[in-house]
Every structure is written in structure tokens, then in C-alpha cells.
Amino acid sequence: MDKAAAARRIEELKREIARHDYLYYVLDSPEISDEEYDALMRELRALEEAYPDLRTPDSPTQRVGGMPVDEFEHVVHEVPMLSLDNVFDLGELKSFCDRVSRALKEEVSYTAELKIDGVAVSLIYEDGVFVRGSTRGDGRVGEDVTANLRTVKSMPLRLMKPVSGRLEVRGEVYMQKKDFAELNAQREEEGEPLFANPRNAAAGSLRQLDPSITAKRHLRVFVYQAVNAVQRGLKSQYEVLQWLKGLGLPTQGTERLCDSFDELTKYIDEWREKRFALPYVTDGVVVKVDDLAKQEILGTTAKAPRWAVAFKYPAEEKRTRVKDIEISVGRTGALTPVAILEPVRLSGTIVQRASLHNEDEIRRKDVRVGDYVWVRKAGEIIPEVVRVDKEARREGSPPFEMPKECPACGSSVVRLPGEAAHRCLNRSCPAQIKEGLKHFASRSGMDIQGLGEKLIDQLVEKGFIRDIADLYTLSEEELASLERMGKKSAQNLIRALEASKNRPLANLIYALGIRYVGSRVAELLAENFGSLERLMEATEEEILQIEGIGPRIASSVVSFFRDEANRRTIERLIALGVKTRLERPALEKDVWRGLRFVFTGELERATRLEAENIVKSLGGQVSSDVSRKTSYVVVGKNPGSKLERAVNLGVKTIDEDSFWRMVEEAKEG
């Protein structure tokens, strides 16, 4: 294919992929399978690799292309990003509407929108192409999180309709309930602190200095404002939302034009319970004067607009009784106490269980069987016991004691020094095997489509699986014999298992379930050791050489691979065809072996990822931090603190032009 034909095909693929992103992430109505979507992306990447100068910032291949940064640049908002005043009951909302009517000397219409509990952002498009995104910050100065926002797949990198000049839109980045629950479950298994709610999780994810971490958090965005919309010929907030939707920007779609206070009340009452069925958290209703010209007349205070207010639904806590405290066993053998509750309706669902986390947490709250407790859903998702009604406690109620034996296998339970959790150390414990299989098959692991919890339970209970390697020995006949598994479902799972053998090395390392090894650490291990076989023989000292990995992780990795049962499982995985090597850029020449490069600032002639791959193709290494082992710090535009550290350590710094001259000399030499 010549360059002209490649350019045409690249544009076709970009439009097609953007359309499928919109269908999948915004409308939740996909037209093609994941495999067909992946094929389109592979074709686009291949063409862009063949013709690098045809790669543009709005290409879907550039959603995750940035290297980690030292710190975020500051962004001054030309129009301040104000927060909203809150009202907490209908009386306060009526007072707001009355003030608006008195100020304008007339009754007005309002647009009512559900309030998303997320992180406010500004998105800027130039001639329809996304160029910059920032957080609210203090309202006047925010942080540039452009690279992280590019990873948000519901946000278009190019608008579906042409828009000339500069367009700034504002919205809310959020995390869906299921993604929040999965993230916290993963963090708990890895011994990391939990996020309190989806908003905190979204904020923490958006402010990661490494965009690849943000990309794994599955953030989404809703937009609700166009700055200076009147200049675009728009006259009302309701019209703005329809216009934004027409551009392919994700809007919430629950807005309603209300011509009176009574209609606002009906909207608020309608969503009071119905909101809990949404896949994301909403904590109120935003009420805005609909007419944009009247918004201008009303103006703002120093902190908030006078033409809008947020009605906040009250936090929901209910009293119920603890019928029992049961113990669940996780994949690492951790025993988690769970309160079994008399059913109570919270946030739109019936709650009957709430995790008590560990013995220390039970002691702190002093939860006992038979107690009456107040419960709520953290972030409208995860049930938790808030406090005990001790006045209602029956006399003589004994404190809860953790069991001395594992409830799943009867093995002895220990609490290791420095840990909060009690653990079953029996690696053959069926409960651990089930949880380990769930982790192995998860989206961040081997991503085995169709291998759900109920199927895993059957496979373990019938003795078909005793460790993860047994997955790859399953036959169609065995699978088809299970409940709710016909021949077609069995064939699909066999195909999914076969496909999972080719997952990236980082996914495999994560899937093994090594304590403290999350997806980011798995990537570092894959990148630095290149194969599972090499990692298995690594010493703690070698692992500690990797920037970003500390003694606790290094010790855990070495201990895992010293275990003979683990080694036997891995040897079986290799024999069964699971890929255990990292796919690296082709090595053109080995002239930079022993050289370590660090990049800081913006490069003009290539993305960071492209420059990094060139270094690797010449045998060099790339690091995210400057140390005495660094050979060169390549300094682009607007460098960060890495430049200062390089100067302090006496590390050689070069500009981008010098770097490219070194590349040319290395290739010619």
C-alpha cells in the first residue's frame, strides 16, 4: 500500500474506531465483537508504524502513549470553574427559586440534571481535536492531566461533527460502581488501602503521574457545559446538552426541562430511589436556570453561580441486626469476617451482608452476634457497619473471636507478625483455589471470557481443577457435562482459554496472584526481566534494582517462586503453551547496551513511547527516575524536576536534537 492509500485507510479506521467507541462506551450498544474491534486497532497500528508521520494526536492508538511525568503542569482557567452551592431540602430549593424570580422579576424555566459524584474537568478541542484537559483545582488554576484524560475511552479525541476554533467543555470524570468494587477488592487482596468511594477512586486515578495506571482504572466522563455557548448560537442549557450530544460527547441523558418548582419537585422525587439502579453514583440533582442570557444577568459570587444550585439527597443509614458473623477465605488465604444481617433496604437494594474486614476492625467497632447496628453503603455500593447500638445489646453477649481453623479446609489459622489478617496457609484449600482462579481469569489477568464464579465453583467441586494449570487441560466433554453448559458454551470457553495463552507477560505475572504484585508492578517485572523463566530465578537484590519496587514486594516475589508447588504449576503452564516472554521492539543493533536513558519534558519529533522503543531497539534501557546509574537525561520542552535532579547528581543532559543525532550515529555505526 502506497502512502496516499495508507493515509486514506488510516482516516477510515480512525473514524470507524471512534464510532465503535461511542457505541460501546457512550450508548452501551456495541455493533461488533471485541475480536473485530481488536482487528481494526491492529490494522491501524500497523499502518501507523509503517508511516509514522501519518500518526496524529487524535488517533485511538495514542490513548495511552505518554511516559510518566514528575509533576503536573498548572493550567489557568480563562473562565473560572466555580463550585455549586448546596441545598438539602425542598424548602431551601424553593428559597433559591424565589431569589431567582425576584432578581429577574419573572418566573423562569430550569434544567434539572442528576449530579454525578465525580471529579470536575475542563476539556479543550481545537478545530474538533482534543488538545488539553485539566482538573478544576482551586477553580482558577488546575492541573494539566491531558495524557490521563486521553485514556478515558468514552471521551472522543476528535468530535463527530466539525467545530471551528477553540471549544471548551466541562464535565465530570467518574468511575462506575462495578469498576470501583473490583478496584477495591484488588487493593484489599494486595494489602493496599481502600478508596472510600468512587469519587475518591476517580480523583486518585486521574491524578496518577503514570497514564498507564490511569488507563487500567476504566474511568468515564459526562459533559454538561460548553463555555461561552452563546457565541455558538446556543440559547439554553437544555439546548447545550443536545448540541454536545450531537458532537459525540457523552452526556448523561437524564436532563429534564422544568417550567415550575412543582416540576422540579417531581423530578427530584422520581430519581430519589430510581438513581440507585444507575451504574454510577449520583448524590443529588443540579438545578440550572435554563436561559443562558438570564444566567448572564444573574452572574456569580466569588465561589458559585447565582443561577444554579445542587440539591443533595440525604445520606442513607439504617438500623438492623447482626444475625451471625461468618468467615470467607480469599485467594491469599486471608480470613475475612462478614456480618450476616437481617435484610434491610439500602440505596435501592436489599443488603444482607457487610464485610468487617479483620479482627482489629471488629475490635475497634466492637461488633458482636446479635447486636443492632447502623449500616450504610460506602459510595452507594459497598455495605459497611457504621456503628453499634450498644444500648440495645443483650446482656452477656460475648465478643467475637476469630477461628483457630480454616472453615473451608480445617487447616490451622495463623496471624503473621505485622499483619491485620488471619491466614490459612494450606495452598490446596478449595476456597483459595476458587478465589485464585477468579483472579487468574480476571480482566487484568488472563481475561478469560466466560469463566465466571459459578462455573469455577463447579470445576473445583467436581475435582476437574486443582490448580490454575488444570484450566488448560479441560475438554469440551468435561465442560459440557456441567450445569448450564451446553456444547456451544463449552466450545466458546475452550476458544477463550486458547486465546488467553497469548496474553502479555505482565498479565500472566499479575494473574499468578503473587502477594503485593498489582498490575503496575507486574509491568515493571515483565519489562525488566523479559520472561517468566528469568523472573523465577531472580534474587531479591536484582528485583530491588527496579525503581518503584521495595523490599516487601521483592521478598514476596522471591518467596512465591521458591515454592515448589508454584514452580510445578508454572512448568505445566509453559508445557501447555502459555506465552511467558515479553514481546520487545526488534533489536536493530546492540550498540547502547549498558546505557540508561531518562526523558523529561515534551518531545517534538516523536512521542515518549516511540523514543523509548528506539532506545530499546538499540539495546539501551529506559527509566522513569534519575539516579546515579542514569547515562543520559534527554530534555524536551517544559522539563520537570528530573532535570534539576540530573544536575544535582552530575548526570549528563542532552537536548532532543542531540538525542536524534545519537540515534542516527548508532544506526549508521
Would you state the pLDDT for residue 331? 86
What is the pLDDT at residue 39? 82
Please, how many CA atoms are within 13 Å of residue 381, restricted to the half-sphere of its CB?
Answer: 24
Every domain of the chain with CATH number 2.40.50.140 lies at 318-416
Cα distances (angstroms) measured from residue 488 to each of 2, 481, 485, 494, 574: 43, 12, 8, 10, 28
H-helix or E-strand containing 438?
helix 430-441
* pLDDT score of 64: 66
Residue 178 annotated among the catalytic residues of the structure: no
Q: Do the Cβ atoms of 565 and 599 come closer than 8 Å?
A: no
Grade residue 287 by pLDDT with cuts at 50, 70 and 90. Answer: very high
d(CA 612, CA 632): 13
* Class of domain 318-416 as given by CATH: mainly beta
Residue from 183, 340, 154, 131 nearest 251 by CA: 154
- Assessment of whether the complete model's pTM goes beyond 0.75: no
Q: pLDDT per residue over 168-195, tens digit each?
A: 999 999 999 989 988 887 777 666 778 8
Mean pLDDT for the chain overall = 90
Chain region(s) in the chain for CATH 1.10.287.610: 3-62
The matching CATH number, chosen from 3.20.20.140, 3.40.50.12280, 3.40.605.10, 3.40.50.10190, for 596-668 is 3.40.50.10190
Q: What is the pLDDT of residue 215?
A: 87
Q: What is the pLDDT of residue 66?
A: 54
Contact in structure between 372 and 338 (CB atoms under 8 Å): no
pLDDT tens-digit series, residues 398-411: 999 999 999 999 99
Rounded distance between C-alpha atoms, residue 601 and residue 69, angstroms:
8
Q: Which helix (H) or strand (E) holds 499?
A: helix 487-500
Q: Is the pLDDT of residue 93 over 90?
A: yes
Quick one: cell of 111? 434544567
User: What is the pLDDT, as a whole number, of residue 545?
Assistant: 81
What angle (nearest 5°) sits at the alpha carbon of residue 286, between those of residues 280 and 289? 150
The predicted pLDDT at position 519 comes to 81
pLDDT at 667 over 70: yes
According to CATH, where is 1.10.150.20 located in the chain?
Answer: 430-575
Per-residue model confidence as pLDDT tens digits over 425-457: 887 899 999 999 999 999 889 999 899 999 999
| Beta carbons of 325 and 369 less than 8 angstroms apart | yes
Share above pLDDT 70 across residues of the chain, in percent, rounded to a whole number: 97
Q: Which of 14, 115, 153, 177 is catalytic?
A: 115
Q: Which CATH number fits domain 430-575: 1.10.8.60, 1.10.150.130, 3.40.50.300, 1.10.150.20?
A: 1.10.150.20
Q: Across the strands, what pairs with 353?
A: 340
Q: Phi and psi dihedrals of 7, rounded to 5? A: -60, -40
Under CATH, what is the fold of the domain 3-62? Helix Hairpins (1.10.287)
- CB count, 10 Å around CB of 336? 17
| Confidence bin at 86 (pLDDT 50/70/90) | very high
Considering the domain delimited by 75-312, tell me its CATH architecture: 2-Layer Sandwich (3.30)
pLDDT confidence of 586, banded at 50, 70, 90? low
Flag whether pLDDT at 534 surpasses 60.
yes
pLDDT in tens, 60-81: 888 765 555 667 889 999 999 9
